Amino acid sequence: MSVSLEDWWPRLPQATREWLIAHNGDAVPVWITEQITRAGGVVATDAWWVGEYGPTSFYLSDEAVDWIDAVANGEKPGRRTDS
């Protein structure tokens, strides 16, 4: 089981959060994946916030994209009960 988005998000450097907001829905490059991992997120197929995998990156799930949109709009999205 991996740490949920709600847990690792506040541990990311501000620049990384800003990149994820600005590029929400885009492929997540390796350097961002490394930041997520350092913050406690494990990019695993069972994590609700992980979408599709590509050859050199992965995509956030639609739910994660919506969650980041909510944060970007100053909202406080609810916490998921599963990881």
What is the full per-residue pLDDT of the chain (83 aa) written as tens digits? 458 899 999 999 999 999 999 999 999 999 999 999 999 998 877 888 989 887 778 899 999 999 999 999 999 887 875 54
Check residue 6 and give its pLDDT: 92
Check residue 79 and give its pLDDT: 81
Check residue 82 and give its pLDDT: 57
The burial of 37, by beta-carbon neighbours within 10 Å (0-12 exposed, 13-18 middle, 19 or more buried), is given as middle
The token duo for 49 is 């916030």
- Structural domains in the chain (count): 1
Check residue 47 and give its pLDDT: 86
79 found inside a domain? no
82 found inside a domain? no
Q: Which residues form the domain of 61? A: 5-72
How many residues appear in the chain?
83
CB 79 within 8 A of CB 10: no
Check residue 1 and give its pLDDT: 46
